[in-house]
Amino acid sequence: MTSASSDRTFAVRHVQIARAAFAALAAVMITFSPDHSALVGMAVFSGFAIATGIVLLLAVWLVYPAGRRWPAATLGAVTLVAGMVGGLGPVRTITGFFAVVISWALVSGLIELVAGWRGLRGARARRDIAPGVADVRPVADPGPRADSRDAVVVGAVGVILGFALLVVPTGFALQYTIEEAQQTFTLTGIIIGVGIFGAYAAIVAVYLGIAGFSPRKDDPVTTEAPVPADQKDSA
């Protein structure tokens, strides 16, 4: 294990667990709230995005080494800005909810998806390097590869969220009656949209929670190329 990685108190798993916790809180608030209006949906999204953005920006200095900080910095900035915009009163409308959440989902999803894909390519390239090319060569890198795979999944789910909200008509309204309760209800586009975001939050919470608490292999170490026996004897 390198000294840089061993000196860090926090790891990627802590970022995943924190993100999972905030996503789970958002999912619970939406699930158990009888009001799925734009005001409530935007308020939940705003709190979720601001908290997640702060976690990602803190991870830039506390978790990621130099050269691997741009995804967390970019994703954290985009998420924090989206959460702050969602906290503005004039934006807490049906149109505002769909506009802000769709924009955030597509942009942040693509950022995380591209970052994870590039990480997987880098891990595959390091794995394919022939041994003995240099005297000092890093061995298999399972930790960053697992992190990149998780980023690809979460990024893809975010992009799916954006496209799912795009197909929901904002002016949709369907009245239905439950005869047993003798009540008539109205299913609107904003109720569907807020519910879709709640489902997204639940999926992210479960996936990142499992990823954060799953046991992982030790970080890669650098090993020297084996020394031939005759050189050892001569030494």
- Output the pLDDT for position 219: 42
| pLDDT surpasses 50 at 68 | yes
Residues 32-52: pLDDT tens digits? 999 999 999 999 999 999 999
Cα separation, 14 vs 21, whole angstroms: 11
Question: How many domains does one find in the chain?
Answer: 1
Residue 195 falls inside a structural domain: yes
- Output the pLDDT for position 138: 41
Instruction: Give the structural domain span for 149.
Output: 9-130+138-215
Residue 221 falls inside a structural domain: no
- Output the pLDDT for position 104: 98
Taking every pair of Cα atoms in the chain, the longest distance, rounded to a whole number of angstroms, is 95
Mean pLDDT of 199-208: 97
C-beta neighbour count of 173 within 10 angstroms? 11
Mean pLDDT of 59-82: 92
| pLDDT surpasses 70 at 56 | yes
pLDDT category of residue 129 using cuts at 50, 70 and 90: low
What's the start-to-end Cα distance of the chain, in Å? 28
Cα separation, 208 vs 91, whole angstroms: 29
In sequence order, the β-bridge partners of residue 174 are 187
pTM: 0.81
Least confident of 24-28, 133-137, 158-162, 204-208: 133-137
Residue 223 falls inside a structural domain: no
Residue 220 falls inside a structural domain: no
- Output the pLDDT for position 122: 74
- Output the pLDDT for position 225: 43
Print the SS3 string covering 21-46: HHHHHHHHHHHCCCCCCHHHHHHHHH
Residue 222 falls inside a structural domain: no
Least confident of 25-29, 48-52, 140-144, 172-176: 140-144
- Among residues 6, 152, 133, 150, the alpha carbon closest in space to that of 65 is found at 6
Residues 173-186: pLDDT tens digits? 888 777 777 777 78
Angstrom distances, CA of residue 194 to CA of 8, 23, 65, 137, 191: 38, 14, 36, 50, 5
| pLDDT surpasses 60 at 212 | yes
| pLDDT surpasses 60 at 216 | yes
Backbone Cα Rg of the chain = 23
Contact between residue 82 and residue 47 where contact means Cβ atoms under 8 Å apart: no
What's the length of the chain?
235
Residue 225 falls inside a structural domain: no
Q: Are strands 222-224 and 183-188 parallel, antiparallel or unpaired?
A: unpaired
Percent of the chain beyond pLDDT 70? Answer: 78
**Mean per-residue pLDDT over the chain, rounded:** 83
Cα separation, 206 vs 150, whole angstroms: 12
pLDDT category of residue 158 using cuts at 50, 70 and 90: very high
Residue 32 falls inside a structural domain: yes
Residue 3 falls inside a structural domain: no
